Amino acid sequence: MQIAIDGPAGAGKSSVAKEVARRMNLNCLDTGAMYRAVTLKALKEGIDVHDGKRMGKLAKDCKLSVEYNENEGTLIFLDGEDVTGEIRSSRVNQHVSIVASSPELRKELVYLQRRVADESGGIVMEGRDIGTDVLTGADFKFFLYASIEERAKRRWLEMKSKGTDVDFNELLEEIATRDRLDEERKASPLKVAAGAKVIDTTNYSLEEAISAVLDFIKQNSEEGQ
């Protein structure tokens, strides 16, 4: 089974995908982490993140691998180094949407994502173009969203719990900018995939969001029998 979960930053995709995968005994892939890893490498090497062709070559040449740990979720290895924590930095946050707008880069990573799905034996994949581009034939497609204020609040609390001091209004502006870049990019923009189940998680707890996904899958799986 292949399950695609799309949506903007802070909508709950990663947390929902991880738990849905665990309960259904499926693999899980956070594709956004892959774009973050390439962004991190570009920043470390001083490469212009606006240079789409160079970013595509960087993605093709770097050694990017994904592992799934039941307790820790998706682990991202870049050139043999675990960068799972490092790719969540504020600096990467500010540049990842620019990097993700490169058609050349997306082509390389989509190829890798499809290969991961094909070799998984069953997967929950989340990102911004899974249902519209990466896994267009997924068995189930979901689009999660929430108000921008709620999404900023979630990220603020998450970063605060990790000891990172960040201004809420700056975070709100950062998410608004990411939304605009993701929605307006020419290559695979963020949008609701045809046939996707749309879920507003603004007033949902994590468990309620997970249940909404699982209940929809169960109901429609039974109807298809």
Mean per-residue pLDDT for 210-220?
97
> Which comes out higher in pLDDT, residue 48 or 187?
48
Q: Which residue matches tokens 């990466």?
A: 134
The pLDDT value given to residue 187: 84
Sheet with strand 64-69: strands edge to edge: 64-69, 73-78, 81-82
Find residue 29's DSSP bridge partners. Answer: 125
pLDDT tens, residue by residue, 4-46? 999 998 999 999 999 999 999 998 988 988 999 999 999 999 9
The pLDDT value given to residue 224: 56
**Predicted confidence (pLDDT) at residue 136 exceeds the cutoff of 90:** yes
DSSP calls for 70-81: TTTEEEEEETTE
User: What CA–CA distance (Å, rounded) separates 41 from 56?
Assistant: 12
The pLDDT value given to residue 73: 66
Domain 2-217 belongs in CATH node 3.40.50.300: yes
CA terminus-to-terminus distance, the chain: 15
Tokens of 140: 């189930």
* Residue ranges covered by each domain of the chain: 2-217
Tokens of 208: 């309620």
Find residue 78's DSSP bridge partners. Answer: 64, 81
User: What CA–CA distance (Å, rounded) separates 97 from 99?
Assistant: 5
